[in-house]
Amino acid sequence: MELVSKKRLGLYAGRRSRPLADEIASLLNEKLGAVQLVEFASGETYCRYEESVRDTDVFVIATHCEPVNDSIMEQLIMIDAAKRASAKRIIAVCPYFGYGRQDRKALPREPITAKLVANLLQTAGADRMISVDLHSGQIQGFFDVPVDHLTAMPVLEEYIRNEAPEDTVIVAPDAGRVRTAERFAQHLNADIAFLHKRRPRGTKNEVEVSEVIGDVNGRHCIIIDDMIDTAGTVCAAAELLRARGATDVWIMATHPVLSGPAIERLESAFASRVIVSNTLPLTSDKLIDKIEVLSAAGVISSVIESVFEGSSVSDLFHGENQL
């Protein structure tokens, strides 16, 4: 007996990731697969695929949004269910990778939680992981399976080309974003500036931005970061840029975590625009006039297609996705 095997693609989404997943599926000319996700009265999550996933490349799309622990657990359960249903390959698609900032020990007796999440995904049965703009590239090394590290840079760059004035300065808000800011500046033929930031020892959401390196006087500045959490860093950076003579400031980031006082800070910040992607869903109360949301669905869908077909992912980003 001789059989000609056919590759099957299955797209499934966690409950909090449906809008982004629907857009990804549409771009791939696919439909999201049917999966039942409910909670018992005790709060435990139940999952059941309502169609066969045997010998299917199953892509489980679940961004690690608030409540983060619930989002991660739901994805783990979906992966486990697919594994036990004989899926051929299981790819965890995490547009925003939770706990990404806990990637090292800064103080004694701390965990490295990003590594723990990587272990959980692999133990559940993930054969591969896809994510967008990880907080640090070293997280790829926490996995013993392939990791496709995407970047939203093409989407953000296109916005800058279409909307920003010519005399623009790309600003790195801290040392960790310098390399990213340099690439933006090179692609856009723009000047670059750096900010010196320090975080008081033992604090989690407090920052001090003390100095600007670069000429920003009379210039339009765009702060580039991977995420906006409580917005302390970017708002302090915008205020310092104003003090150094910047005429206007835009804040640009891939992941709009926007927790705690973030919205209040952004509303009062010296920034006329806050540009983010849809890797995390935003509730209506967070969609203030300053915020503009760009879609990362095109980037993610192109990578899903490449992984499914077995073609190069790095070629999509000209090798610049390994930041």
Supply the residues annotated as catalytic.
Answer: 197
**Residue 105 backbone zone (phi > 0: left; psi -120 to 50: alpha; other: beta):** beta
* First-to-final CA distance of the chain: 48
The SS3 call for residue 178 is: helix
Closest to 114 measured CA to CA, from 262, 129, 158, 188: 129
Side chain identity, residue 124: A
Closest to 228 measured CA to CA, from 197, 200, 205: 205
d(CA 294, CA 156) in angstroms, rounded, equals 8
Containing 75, the helix (H) or strand (E) segment is: helix 68-84
Containing 317, the helix (H) or strand (E) segment is: none
Side chain identity, residue 234: V
Distance of CA 262 to the CA centre of its chain: 18
The SS3 call for residue 225 is: strand
One-character DSSP codes across 3-32: ------EEEEE-GGGHHHHHHHHHHTT--P
Residues near 207 by beta carbon (within 8 Å), at least 6 away in sequence: 197, 198, 199, 232, 233, 236
d(CA 57, CA 80) in angstroms, rounded, equals 14
Contact 307, 148 (CB under 8 A): yes
